[in-house]
A and B are shown apart, each in its own frame.
Chain A
Amino acid sequence: MSGHVLLIEDEPNIIEAIGFILSRDGWRVDTHSNGVDAVDVVRAKAPDVVILDVMLPGRSGYDILRDLRNDPVTQTLPILMLTARGQSKDREMAERAGVSRFMTKPFSNAEVLDAVRALKAS
């Protein structure tokens, strides 16, 4: 399976590692590190799957997710959210905002790969 993934994450070494495993699996990977214009970048790139970190410089991943869900074009876009906060209230907040899948750090490469594949298939 292959497709187009947009990885929105501000940690360069996580970007490099996830970018590597996805690319090796045949995915085309674009990356972005800023929360402020992340919504515009998603619209412009039109990926198959978005991987979105919660804590981004400039804007929270939750706010970005809400904006994307309010836009008819990106309303059903598969979005995998990454966060270091694994409390149930964080998960609930993400689910209320319309996340497709929620994953807490530290995660394994295989988990990310499986999640992206599953989201694309859905």
Chain B
Amino acid sequence: MPRDTLTGSRIRERRISRGMKQADLARKAGISASYLNLIEHNRRRIGGKLLMGIADILGVDATLLTEGAGAALIATLREAALDMPAIPAEQDRVDEFAGRFPGWAQLLADTHTRVAMLERSVETLTDRMTHDPQLAASLHEMLSTVTAIRSAASILAEPGEIEPEWQARFHRNIFEDSGRLTEASRGLVAYLETEGEAASETGTPQEELDHVLEGAGHHVAALETADGDVAAVGDEIGGGLSAAARSLLADWLTRYAADARALPQDDMARAVAELGADSALLAQRFEMDPARIMRRLAALPPDVLSEPVGLAICDASGVLTYRKPLPDFPMPRFGAACPLWPLYRALSRPFVLMSAAVRPLVQVGRDTTVLRSETWAAPRGSLAVNRDPLFEAHMIVRPEKRGRETDEAQEVGVACRICPREACEGRREPSILSGGT
């Protein structure tokens, strides 16, 4: 129903909230009660002098009766008041508040909605961490099975004779339990991977952005043309994101579009075919900022690149603001990365394009590939007089060329929590992995 046809309803609501009888209002307004009844049920239009008179009697602005406030806004404000019963908000005057101060009312309503969303996210994350029944059950089963294996193995390993019948029984138990442990581990990994896919529903804005970029393959074809529309692309791929994540996405897309205009994909593809994904050579060829070269490399579609390319970008505090991991070079989804990454060294060597071999330490006993990293740190944003610039660092990682693998590669981890390297000056917290190099 259009808003202006609800004037009668608003008069009725206002009259009832003031405890005034219909007959009394009609009398004061100089009309019959039956006519006011028709008005209040929106069966007669009202305007002009009569409307002004009724508004005056009810003590409200006439526009509040004709335009009112949005039903959704009123409902949200009422909800906000109900959520905090200790504060005696004048609920009977909510319409008036929204009508007289629409901006403040909308601010209050939006803040209430945002608080509710944040509370839900906190609840979900807390629940996932502490009361996740699937995770708890999987871990419980794994620990129970490990306990059984450990007990049986200890009995077999201890000195002294064990009857052959018991010996056979414990061997069989270990065999059975190791099978169970394998199944439980697989189940847990599958569950955690599924959880990871759904992380954008409750994650931080940065996680939401990571999820969208991952879904897009870090390539936006619509922005590779000169007339690419950043806002339209943002609407298309950013649907369902939080406001904060949409803002991050808009910044990223704006930068992407500027990079694409400065260095079109076709030019980049031809140069990569000739020189390889070497940031230094490409920067020299195009006489361009190596950071832009690195971002363009990371944005190339897989059919253009002969080898995969990963990219990490961090701000001056070391926080990762962009991550495109490689299977051999995972990047942490949460928290800080390994401080041994050449990315962080670049922050102390700005304007120096550095190249280094790295060997990611992912798991004890697992052979890992040597990768080539190239890093570059430079100020972000415009320069200003007497103000220190804020630096940003980029790090490209790609498979090392055959024959160039070297033992001198720097061993680096993903993050302390899951790093097997024990003797490390960069360690911030203990690892959950045992053993190490």
Contacts and interface: CB of A to CB of B under 8 A. Distances in A.
A106 B147 contact: yes
A107 B150 CA distance: 8
A17 B154 CA distance: 9
A46 interface: no
A108 B154 contact: yes
Contact of B154 (A13, A14, A84, A109): A109
A20 B143 contact: no
Given A21-B155, A108-B150, A16 B139 contact: no
A55 interface: yes
A114 interface: no
B20 to A, nearest CB: 57
Contacts of B169: 16
A60 B139 CA distance: 17
A116 to B, nearest CB: 14
B355 interface: no
Interface stretch (B51-59, B108-116, B170-178, B235-243): B170-178
Contacts of B151: 13-14, 17-18, 21, 108-109
A14 B155 CA distance: 12
A11 B173 contact: no
A14 B166 contact: no
Contacts of B173: 13, 16-17
B140 interface: yes
Interface residues of A, number: 17
Contacts of B166: 20
Given A20-B155, A108-B154, A109-B155, A14 B140 contact: no
B148 A17 contact: yes
B38 to A, nearest CB: 65
A56 to B, nearest CB: 12
Given A11-B148, A106-B150, A17 B155 contact: yes
Contact of B139 (A13, A84, A109): A84
Interface string A4-40: 0000000101101110110000000000000000000
A43 interface: no
A107 B148 CA distance: 9
The CB with the most chain B CB atoms within 10 A, among A20, A84, A85, A110, is that of: A84
Contacts of B176: 13
Nearest to A82: B147
B434 interface: no
Given A20-B155, A21-B155, A85 B150 contact: no
A105 B144 contact: yes
Contact of A85 (B140, B154, B155, B170): B140
A11 B180 CA distance: 12
A11 B144 contact: yes
Contacts of A17: 148, 151-152, 155, 170, 173
A14 B148 contact: yes
A106 B155 CA distance: 15
Nearest to A9: B144
A97 to B, nearest CB: 19
Contacts of B154: 108-110
Contacts of A14: 144, 147-148, 151
Nearest to B173: A13
Contacts of A108: 150-151, 154
B146 interface: yes
Given A13-B173, A20-B166, A105 B143 contact: yes
B56 to A, nearest CB: 63
Nearest to B139: A84
B155 A55 contact: no
Contacts of B144: 11, 14, 84, 105
B395 to A, nearest CB: 37
Contacts of A16: 152, 169-170, 173
Given A17-B155, A21-B155, A107 B140 contact: no
B157 to A, nearest CB: 10
Interface string B176-197: 1100000000000000000000
A-B interface, 5 closest residue pairs, ranked by CB to CB distance from nearest = A17-B151, A84-B143, A13-B148, A106-B147, A105-B147
Given A55-B140, A106-B146, 7 more contacts: A11-B148, A13-B151, A13-B177, A105-B144, A105-B146, A106-B143, A110-B154
Interface of A: 11, 13-14, 16-18, 20-21, 55, 84-85, 105-110
Interface of B: 136, 139-140, 143-148, 150-152, 154-155, 166, 169-170, 173, 176-177
7 contacts: A11-B148, A13-B173, A17-B173, A18-B151, A55-B140, A84-B140, A106-B147
